[in-house]
Chain A
């Protein structure tokens, strides 16, 4: 519940920040605005389990929104990942992770439909843990930890307004195991 509220809030505020960037033109006064962009997708990555022997897959659900300027794209991304609960009937632990990143992306056209891009992002993530024991449940929110990321990939314009992208991503945060974390992302959305 709290996390859902946070997610919405984070998303709305990232949009607000992006919007204010657009309005003020402070970041790059000479940039011409080409239009808005929004997309959904996931960035699959692997992290080590507690034994340090096995890798487990993370496939967060991600939402992006922002603006496309003539020089670069600026957008916010919110990702949400929930681990499945493990334990016994009596005791168990589950966790959810909310990550928000601000991205700057520069594209290089290859053809009318394809472009290559490189992107730089930074933001934070927060883990929420649910612990239950014999009927008692605790929900704890961890502190926000910094995340930095770089990404590179290909954009494919499917129609005039619809665009898909595939990207490889390297992101780093102190609690990541392994750190940095490698991911493969796929997004689809509109870009006007």
Chain B
């Protein structure tokens, strides 16, 4: 850290001691200082280094220099990877904001230092978008997205009249990620690469799958942005037929009957949400290398979302529908909340399974980094197949929870016994299930 002002002042002092002539000389010095420092802002360009809370290869976060190649307008947080809006509002289906004012100083070594907390968050969030852009390119997902992505920070989101804190919401209608204010004492979400990568995956899933059936993903709760009170509908709407029933939950027959009455659209929305959340958690881990990235910012989620646990076995479509039956007696809003909670639980199973696939590949002799790359790329390649299947049956049939598994395995370059075992241990037992050819094929 260079003490440039000290040096200048010392120089001034030296001149001062020479008596009268110092006045003009000092003034000249200050003038030259003026000219020199005029270049302070104009020499900002893409390729600058910023000091940010950034993970090392082990996922350990500390303040480190990070070079950003694409941030060509740091004052406005704009570059080819993302446009960061601070305290945005919604207007005509778009996210709008005043021109932000990122504030930095340039240290003696030339590193850009954010000079307030909002700038630190914004530029770190940008940095993760730039790295995610490279990550997407490596894994074949970049083409799904329209760059630069729109990211809102400090967004005032209202859910049923209350301001939402400590969350990040991908809004499919706005095609934007909304990061709401963080009030806990841990890692703010805007600085959490794993959570940002999780949300980033929702952009991809929206384009690859949900856009094809005209569904817009959002957090699920009925939320609006405070400045406009505009409401972004959750996906998808319930059918009118699904009203509260007075069921005897001890009676298996009536549960089975009620499960069959759940409309395919409602079940499919639930399953797609679970798959979306699960794949997004895997994406978050794959990008950050951190198995507990959710818990870093949201400690209450740590136990249920950490990815280094067994996936367990998937329920079949009927069992999943039955698990939704007991929610039918609840109030519609509570029902939706429970459903979201359950979708996350099911999603975590998918995420743990995908991480398990990486371990299986490692067991087969692939290096951990390469194995992670294989599964991540296979996941991207599996999305169009999932999309096509979903388009074909979203409104009419109950989609199998196994649906994503086969294209996933098909796109792995090296499938041997450990991968097949992981698959067999995880997949739901369903009639008509066909093993991927690499796992010997056949119908069960």
Q: Which residues of A line the B interface, CB within 8 A?
A: 2, 6, 9-10, 12-13, 16-17, 19-21, 23-27, 48-53, 83, 86-93, 95, 98, 102, 122-124, 126-129, 131, 133-134, 136, 138-146, 148, 174-175, 177
Interface bits B3-43 vs A (CB < 8 Å: 1, else 0): 11110111011001111111110110011011101101100
A13 with B16: in contact, given A27-B23, A50-B101 (CB under 8 Å)?
Answer: yes
Interface presence of B1 (CB below 8 A): yes
Chain B proximity of A11: nearest CB distance (Å): 10
Distance in angstroms between the alpha carbons of A133 and B52 in the assembled complex: 9
Among residues of A, the one whose C-beta sits closest to the C-beta of B12 is A13
Interface bits B140-169 vs A (CB < 8 Å: 1, else 0): 000000000000001000000000000000
**Residues in A neighbouring B26, C-beta threshold 8 A:** 17, 102
Tell me whether chain A's interface is mostly helix, strand or loop, or mixed: mixed
B3 with A141: CB separation less than 8 A = yes
In this complex, the member of A26, A50, A124 whose beta carbon has the largest number of chain B beta carbons within 10 angstroms is A50
Q: How many pairs, one residue from A and one from B, have CB atoms within 8 Å of each other in the complex?
A: 200
The 9 closest A-B pairs by CB, nearest first: A24-B20, A142-B105, A146-B34, A52-B98, A50-B118, A89-B185, A16-B16, A51-B86, A51-B87
Among residues of B, the one whose C-beta sits closest to the C-beta of A16 is B16
Distance in angstroms between the alpha carbons of A19 and B12 in the assembled complex: 13
**Residues in B neighbouring A48, C-beta threshold 8 A:** 101
**Residues in A neighbouring B86, C-beta threshold 8 A:** 50-53
Among residues of A, the one whose C-beta sits closest to the C-beta of B3 is A141
A102 with B6: CB separation less than 8 A = no
Q: Which of B107-115, B322-330, B390-398, B423-431 contacts A (4 or more CB under 8 A)?
A: B107-115
Q: How large is the interface on B (under 10, 10 to 19, 20 to 34, 35 or more residues)?
A: 35 or more
Given contacts A52-B101, A145-B37, 8 further A-B contacts (CB under 8 A): A6-B3, A6-B5, A20-B22, A93-B117, A95-B115, A102-B27, A124-B8, A146-B38
| 7 CB < 8 A contacts A-B | A20-B20, A50-B122, A88-B188, A90-B187, A124-B5, A129-B113, A146-B35
A143 with B185: CB separation less than 8 A = no
Interface presence of B99 (CB below 8 A): yes
Chain A proximity of B31: nearest CB distance (Å): 8
B20 with A23: CB separation less than 8 A = yes
Chain A proximity of B198: nearest CB distance (Å): 20
B117 with A86: CB separation less than 8 A = yes
**Residues in B neighbouring A177, C-beta threshold 8 A:** 101, 103
Interface presence of B443 (CB below 8 A): no
A144 with B16: CB separation less than 8 A = no
B21 with A52: CB separation less than 8 A = no
B62 with A95: CB separation less than 8 A = no
A144 with B22: CB separation less than 8 A = no
